[in-house]
Amino acid sequence: MTPLEALQATLAGEHAAVYVYGVLGAQSSASEQPTLFANLQTAYQLHRKRRDQLTVMIEHRGIDPVPSAVSYALPNAAATSAELTDAALQVESRISATYGQLVGSSSGSDRRWGIAALDDCAVRQLAFRGTPEMFPGMES
């Protein structure tokens, strides 16, 4: 995979993450699930920021960034607190693997950025009841 292909794949992953977090946030309640709601909102904002950064990184190479799909399949029904938490955990786990792929396919500042993003996703998994892993970002 070329560095540009890895950036495009990561952007595609972030498009999906932003979409899913948008749905998860809409399905949660700020009054009844304040911690979960806050965690989902924080994650949504962070992934939207990453998506925008990736878009700029690709545009700077004179290439059109991969567009978002119209919709994405949710990891589960996303109805209960447990399902919302599990869906968020799945998003973080999958995007961690995508960032791992970016680290392995890039160098220099792109690799550094990918390492920081992978680190961020790995830690955020813990907020969604994830358990520490030996090698985050290595498995899909």
Partner 1 sequence: MPDQPAVTRRTVVSGAVITVLATGLTSGLATGCDVRNPLSKSGDGVPEPAAVSPDVTVAIQAVGVIRAAQLAATTTSQRHPALRPRLTALLDMHKAHLDALADAVPDASRATPTATPFVVPADPKVALHTIAVLETGGRSTIIGLALRAQSGAFARLLAGITAATSQRLVGLPKP
- Given the rule CB under 8 A, which residues bind partner 1? 9, 12-13, 16-17, 20, 72-73, 75, 90-91, 94, 96-98, 100-101, 103-108, 111-112, 114-115, 118-119, 121-123, 125-126, 132-140
Comparison of 36 and 87: residue with beta carbon closer to partner 1: 87
Comparison of 6 and 62: residue with beta carbon closer to partner 1: 6
Residue 60 CB, shortest distance to partner 1, in Å, is 20
Burial of 15 (0-12, 13-18, 19+ CB in 10 A): buried
Comparison of 31 and 35: residue with beta carbon closer to partner 1: 35
Annotate 19-77 with three-state secondary structure: HHHHHHHHHCCCCCCHHHHHHHHHHHHHHHHHHHHHHHHHHCCCCCCCCCCCCCCCCCC
SS3 13: helix
Comparison of 62 and 132: residue with beta carbon closer to partner 1: 132
Q: Output the CA–CA distances (angstroms, integers) from residue 135 to 17, 51, 120, in the order listed.
A: 21, 24, 14
Residue 105 CB, shortest distance to partner 1, in Å, is 6
Tokens standing for residue 132? 């520490």
